[in-house]
């Protein structure tokens, strides 16, 4: 794309800083207003009187080089002449034409601020709708282009229901609730007069020229919206629609209705955000801006904000999906691990000797092994992860070797100690065995917890089942790899979008923290999974 993206974000940030200088707790509002101006959209500021709404609008004119500003406070007595210019008496006398003198009025202004907009009459608002919608003003028989880059409308109320103003209100894409100053230090600086510069100083190097503004409008439309980002927008749309269908809100469901036109205009705002952040593709972080585009009233704003927080924490970077994929894989392997124990765990028989019941382990089919000078050893494979079965062998124990004759003799009485070898360690150590009430053979780990075992040569004779387990395990491992990849991509995409010139800082922090939380949750979730999966994957080698 022709614009130098490497320099544009820094320039926009300088512009935001200059416009925000000396204005307390209004930087986010100024950022959003500037983005709306840069993309040719309108802004509605909702809030009580005396909170610098007009001051913000006047500041924004400074962002544009050689630009004009029009400001008007609406009342129910306001006339079109006061907004669009008086009638030319001379033109009416000489030529009988109904023409307005528009110089210095709204039709010739670059930035327009209309306070208490809903108090205006239908004649003004209907004409304004045409100006906003088509960027033209019909002056007599002429259709004049309107240079307006930004309309900032403000009020301490919303348009009344059934007032016919829905069409105009819907075209005010960015909606910001401007509150009183909240932070104590800022409030003190305000009332004692430490307000800094009353006028923003914008350097010629960062002020926006008319020619480049027009160029940017064409370039914004070239920014791409990937299928992946579209799916996230659609997911947000469905979340809001479900809230509207829920019907449990103290306001009409229509207040959560979002027109197709609003969605389309909002997507162009996202493209503008990407463009002025130096990117040629919309990033999921840009979607946070939708929080200020989708509410209708203060009540619906609370719902939209809650949905956006849910979206940022769970959906924006596939955090919820990644954890769900990992959970699914974890459940698969957990179920498979239980199946392995149920299938391979050695069941002990019983016999009666001298009127006393004894345990019987038939080792006639068990494979024999040799370690050092010891022969006639059998191999018992651990079927579950464990910290170790011997203090002398740290780490997960996979198998043990014990003397067949000694083991067969001692296990008859149930719990017993038998010397043997752990894994590939050639040093003898004491091992503890036991038999459960369900006649299952167990070995005790160093925490004295029972671990099911199978005997090589006896319990591993079903090759087809082993192969099926391997297939299931590999599929589960692939799922976890996918989940990890999704979180890595999320981290990369987030980093690629930072710093962000327009996103709400609180939402941005929530989003960043959610990715960190997902990373940690995934790590905890897969800790035992990886041990169980590895054990099942290596069963053939363990029984060899």
**Which DSSP string do the residues of 474-523 spell out, in sequence order?**
HHHHHHHHHHHHHHHHHHHHHHHT-S-SSS-HHHHHHHHHHHHHHHHHHH
Q: How far apart are CA 168 and CA 190, in angstroms?
A: 35
Residues 6+ apart with CB under 8 A from 529: 326, 329, 330, 333, 334, 476, 480
Tokens of 425: 């360690």
Upper half-sphere CA count for residue 200 (Cβ side, 13 Å): 25
Which helix (DSSP H) or strand (DSSP E) does residue 455 occupy? strand 450-455
The CA distance from 434 to 409, in Å, is 13
Pairing between β-strand 416-422 and β-strand 399-403 as defined by DSSP bridges:
antiparallel
Secondary structure of residue 115 in the 3-state scheme:
strand
111-115 and 429-435 beta bridge pairing: unpaired
Residue 3: predicted pLDDT: 47
Closest CA to 321 of 484, 477, 475, 520: 484
- As beta bridge partners, residue 137 has 144
> 3-class SS at 257?
coil
Encoded tokens for 355: 């009127």
- How far apart are alpha carbons 404 and 160 in whole angstroms? 90
pLDDT in tens, the chain (544 residues): 444 567 899 999 999 999 988 787 788 999 999 999 999 999 999 988 877 788 888 888 889 988 899 999 999 999 999 999 999 988 777 777 889 999 999 999 999 999 999 999 999 999 999 999 999 999 988 999 999 999 999 999 999 877 778 899 999 999 999 877 777 776 777 678 655 445 678 888 899 999 999 999 999 999 999 999 999 999 999 999 999 988 788 888 888 999 999 999 999 999 999 999 999 999 999 999 999 999 999 999 999 999 999 999 999 999 999 999 999 999 999 999 999 999 999 999 998 877 788 999 999 999 999 999 999 999 999 999 899 999 988 888 999 999 999 999 999 999 999 999 999 999 999 999 999 999 999 999 999 999 999 999 999 989 999 999 999 999 999 999 999 999 999 999 999 999 999 999 999 999 999 999 999 999 998 888 998 999 999 999 999 9
- Tallying the residues shown for the chain, one arrives at 544
Backbone dihedral angles phi then psi of residue 358, each to the nearest 5 degrees: -120, 155
Omega of the bond leading into 395 within 30 degrees of 0 (cis): no
Q: How far apart are CA 300 and CA 287, in angstroms?
A: 18
pLDDT for the residue numbered 226: 97
Tens of pLDDT, residues 72-125: 999 999 999 999 999 998 877 777 788 999 999 999 999 999 999 999 999 999
What was the pLDDT predicted at 541? Answer: 94
Distance set, CA 207 to CA 37, 71, 177 (Å): 13, 21, 27
Q: What is the pLDDT of residue 5?
A: 65
What's the pLDDT at 22? 78
């Amino acid at each position: 794309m022709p614009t130098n993206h490497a320099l544009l974000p820094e320039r926009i940030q300088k512009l935001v800083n200059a416009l925000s200088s000396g204005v307390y707790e209004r930087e986010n509002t100024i950022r959003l207003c500037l983005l709306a101006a840069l993309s040719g959209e309108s802004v509605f500021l909702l809030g009580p009187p005396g909170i610098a709404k007009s001051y913000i609008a006047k500041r924004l004119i400074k962002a544009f080089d050689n630009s004009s500003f029009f400001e008007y406070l609406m009342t129910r007595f306001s006339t079109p002449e006061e907004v669009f210019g008086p009638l030319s008496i001379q033109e009416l006398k000489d030529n009988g034409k109904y023409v307005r003198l528009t110089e210095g009025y709204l039709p010739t202004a670059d930035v327009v601020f209309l306070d208490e907009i809903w108090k205006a009459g239908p004649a003004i608002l209907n004409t304004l709708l045409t100006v906003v919608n088509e960027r033209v003003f019909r002056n007599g028989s002429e259709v004049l282009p309107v240079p307006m880059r930004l309309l900032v409308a403000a009020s301490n109320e919303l348009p009344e229901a059934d007032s016919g103003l829905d069409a105009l209100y819907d075209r005010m894409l960015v909606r910001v609730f401007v509150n009183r100053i909240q932070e104590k230090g800022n409030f003190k600086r305000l009332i004692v007069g430490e307000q800094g510069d009353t006028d923003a100083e914008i350097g010629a190097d960062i002020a926006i020229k008319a020619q480049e503004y027009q160029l940017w409008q064409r370039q914004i439309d070239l920014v791409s919206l990937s299928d992946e980002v579209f799916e996230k927008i659609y997911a947000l749309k469905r979340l809001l629609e479900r809230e509207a269908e829920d019907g449990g809100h103290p306001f009409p469901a229509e207040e959560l209705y979002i027109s197709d036109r609003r969605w389309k205009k909002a997507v162009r705002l996202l493209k503008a955000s990407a463009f002025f952040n130096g990117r040629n593709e919309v990033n999921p972080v840009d979607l946070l801006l939708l929080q200020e585009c989708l509410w209708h009233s203060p009540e619906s704003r609370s719902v939209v904000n809650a949905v956006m927080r849910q979206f940022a924490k769970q959906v924006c970077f596939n955090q919820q999906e990644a954890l769900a994929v990992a959970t699914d894989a974890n459940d698969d392997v957990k179920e498979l691990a239980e199946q392995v124990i149920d299938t391979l765990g050695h069941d002990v028989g019983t016999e009666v000797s001298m009127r006393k019941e004894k345990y019987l382990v038939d080792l006639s089919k068990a494979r024999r092994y040799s370690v050092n000078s010891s022969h006639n050893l059998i191999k018992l494979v651990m079927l579950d992860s464990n910290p170790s079965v011997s203090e002398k062998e740290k780490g997960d124990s996979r198998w043990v070797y014990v003397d067949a004759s000694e083991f067969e003799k001692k296990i008859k009485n149930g719990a017993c100690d038998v010397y043997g070898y752990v894994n590939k360690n050639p040093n003898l150590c004491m091992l503890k065995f036991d038999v459960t009430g369900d006649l299952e053979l167990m070995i005790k780990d160093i925490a004295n917890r029972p671990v099911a075992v199978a005997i090589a040569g006896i319990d591993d004779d079903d090759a087809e089942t082993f192969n099926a387990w391997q297939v299931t395990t590999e599929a589960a491992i692939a799922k976890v790899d996918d989940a990890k990849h999704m979180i890595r991509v999320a981290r990369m995409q987030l980093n690629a979008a930072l710093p962000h010139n327009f996103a709400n800082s609180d939402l941005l922090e929530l989003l960043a923290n959610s990715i960190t939380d997902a990373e940690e949750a995934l790590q905890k979730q897969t800790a035992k999974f990886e041990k169980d999966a590895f054990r099942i994957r290596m069963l053939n080698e363990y029984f060899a």
